[in-house]
Amino acid sequence: MGTSDSHYSLLSLSLIFILLIMLCFKANVVAASALNNNKISGFYVFGDSTVDPGNNNYIKTTFKSNFPPYGRDFPNQVPTGRFTNGMLSTDYIASYTGLKKEVLPPYLDPNLSTQELMTGVSFASAGSGFDPLTPTITNVIPIEKQLEYFKECKRKMEVVVGKERTENHIKKAAFFISAGTNDFVLNYFILPIQRKSFTLLAYQQFLIQHVKQFIQGLLEEGAERIVIAGVPPFGCLPMMITLNSPNTFLQRHCLTNYSSIARDYNQLLQHELHLMQLNLNLINPPPKLYYADIYGPLAGMIQAPQQFGFDEVSSGCCGSGLIEASFLCNKISNVCTDPSKYVFWDSIHPTGRAYYHIFMASLPIIDSIINS
């Protein structure tokens, strides 16, 4: 090879090397820009089985779902501990917000990376509730403990990125709370433990007081965008229909008296959130509270199932669909051939498809948070 050829080869290699450096630099700039443009820095979730992606796998409780047929339609058919056949509404939200995660992991997973903690996790525990007595029934994680876990999560982030960056990160994060069903259905209606101590109105007010305390706890930790979900129509849950209908098998329809209790609670909750927001508006800039309606979307699917592609609304896909949930819905249970035709997966929890429709109904709130 001549001298000119050698010079040409070296020049070509140099140009290629420079080009690669420029491409890498551009990729890093684009990635950094995307990160800076993402108006939600992280997504943190608290509550019960409606938003628990598997925290109960790591505690001593019988209230688990990390076994088939749960997870039947989850990616790779993995029973993660989600109380449904597929994904939860909060999984869809996490994916939608551009946080580069397809699903929201459980905080208690010992293999979580710092990146996972930064972009978002769920602290929720199936069977929990706002009433401190509720989680003791099934030995699950109380709401107050979930807040302690979040504080622990913050300390872990501070070790890696520092206190100031962590505080800024929390300010830009979104927080989601979904609980209350176990308090009413398990603790007040079925057992009924708290009915001996509270009138219905007094119990509703008791729960809302705990909701407000929890919100205050999040505000003190720096949260500025908090979503609080209402409760579903209790009278439409297959288990409630089974336990409270005179003819369980022949006439299965929503029980309006129980659903009206849920509706009344949701109205009280919205009123209290409005009053809290008025006080928060005195802060500059004010933290924002958002109410997420669960009742309306679920009732809509049940009242007009054909519009959403559903066939069955009063029983679950797993087992008889009348009473099974958690360990009663297991690998020897019969399972319907097409869960997407069912609103409910077991006797309490919606199917992944129903959760998707609930997510779609919440998009205006999510977009409002992203653009706030």
List residues bridging with 176 in a β-sheet. Answer: 45, 227
Residue 328 and residue 332: Cα distance in Å, rounded? 9
Backbone phi, psi, residue 214, to 5°: -70, -45
From the list 26, 70, 48, the residue with the least C-alpha distance to 131 is 48
From the list 241, 246, 122, the residue with the least C-alpha distance to 174 is 122
Residue 345: other Cβ atoms inside 10 A = 34
Q: Is 271 a catalytic residue?
A: no
In terms of residues, how long is the chain?
Answer: 372
Catalytic choice (128, 183, 314, 349): 349
Q: Is 349 a catalytic residue?
A: yes
Q: Is 7 a catalytic residue?
A: no
Element of type H or E holding 203:
helix 200-220
State whether the Cα torsion 372-145-88-36 is positive or negative.
Answer: positive
- Give the angle 267-138-330 at the CA atoms, nearest 5°: 100
Enter the tokens of residue 260.
Answer: 């009206």
Catalytic choice (346, 347, 357, 362): 346
Catalytic choice (41, 49, 128, 340): 49
Residue 61 and residue 271: Cα distance in Å, rounded? 35
Instruction: Identify whether 232 is preceded by a cis peptide bond (ω within 30 of 0).
Output: no
Residues belonging to the active site: 49, 346, 349
